[in-house]
Amino acid sequence: MKSALKLKLLSFFICLLPLSGMAATSTPMAPEVPAKGYILLDFNSGKVLAERNADELLEPASLTKIMTAYVIFREIEAGRINLTDQVMVSEKAWRTGGSRMFIEVGTLVSVEDLLKGMIIQSGNDASVALAEHVSGTTESFAKLMNANAKRLGMTNSHFTNPNGLPDPDLHTTARDLAKVTMALIREFPQYYPWYGTREFTYNDITQPNRNPLLKRDPSADGVKTGHTNAAGYCLVGSAKRDDMRLVSVVMGTTSPNARAQASLALLNYGFRYFESHQLYPANQPIENLRVWFGEQEMLPVGPATDVVATIPRGAYNKLSAHLEKSNEQLKAPIAQGARIGDVVVTLGENEIVRVPLVALQEMPEGGLWRKAKDSVLQMF
């Protein structure tokens, strides 16, 4: 059943943003960039704004290190390792080829320095040292990577090492890389600024961040480049303008400039032609619903997650919303967090957002008097 939420929600919109000059306009097609696979998403809503071959299995090269960092951050959060831990550099880490932060075998390096060396300098040696510190071997760490990938819903990914060096069994997709990138930004805001750091010095060697977006777009603050001969030139980018953040993944381009141009084209398209609004925060009351046979008559309800709408620019005044209750009559007992129905947002005639509506507090059964009273009221 639908509840009369529409006018209340629209009045809330009016408080958020003036409606003048907001007539709906058509949105042009997204640019088709020269890459094997790509995707562009709104970080807040998860809405896909552009994609091509986003589920094709591709080699990630150093984009693998996004997952490596995510796993390390989770280990820190769980208290199993610390940023101040001193890691003994193994010969395997020291000998790892490709991009390096130039750690030396037999020396002690802090987890924090290794993370910065991996994130900013793309150090393959740092990735191996971190993996060995967490799991003992890179093979065991790869199992941890795959477990986290499964938990994040990265159904088309398989990791075999922490740095992305070529392996026939190493693959992922543009969509899966977007998932782990958005999880990293959302779950670890205290560490994400490292991805926007322009340079890092270790062992008296200063190396710049390899991400070209940091120089070409002042709103860009991440994330990671990658390259091998087989993978081509890859780039996961993220930028924030006002309250809107976008994430782009570009894989398999032919040159460093091509991956930068493709990423900028996607990001600029997203910011230019779309806008994003948080309509309701998670677990905040948006309505009080009548409950029968409960200790109280009214139950506060709200969305289980943030209600965020990503819409074409100029279409704001065509938004509307309503509540859909699972049952016409709510009856106690009701547990806190129980799903009551859905918050549904529409743009014109199209549904664009549906978020579970939940009870924000417990509603036990009322006493005999309350039950008798409600039984009589239901008769009329």
| Binding-site residue ranges for substrate | 224
Neighbours of 296 (CB within 10 A): 13
Which residues pair with residue 42 across a beta bridge?
246
Q: Of 90, 122, 127, 157, which one is the catalytic site residue?
A: 122
From residue 225, alpha-carbon distances to 233, 270, 321 in Å are 8, 20, 40
Q: Indicate the Cα dihedral angle 98, 102, 106, 110, nearest 10°.
A: -110
CA–CA dist 343, 336 (Å, integer): 17
Q: Which contiguous run of DSSP H or E holds residue 208?
A: strand 205-208
276 catalytic per annotation: no
Q: Of 36, 45, 47, 65, which one is the catalytic site residue?
A: 65
Q: Of 45, 47, 62, 263, which one is the catalytic site residue?
A: 62
11 catalytic per annotation: no
Question: Which stretches within the chain are classed as H helix?
Answer: 6-16, 64-77, 91-95, 111-119, 124-135, 138-151, 174-187, 213-216, 256-273, 368-379
Neighbours of 283 (CB within 10 A): 13
65 catalytic per annotation: yes
Q: Is the distance from CB of 357 to CB of 283 less than 8 angstroms? A: no
Backbone angles phi, psi at 121, to 5 degrees: -95, -5
From residue 4, alpha-carbon distances to 8, 13, 321, 355 in Å are 8, 16, 9, 17
Active site residues: 62, 65, 122
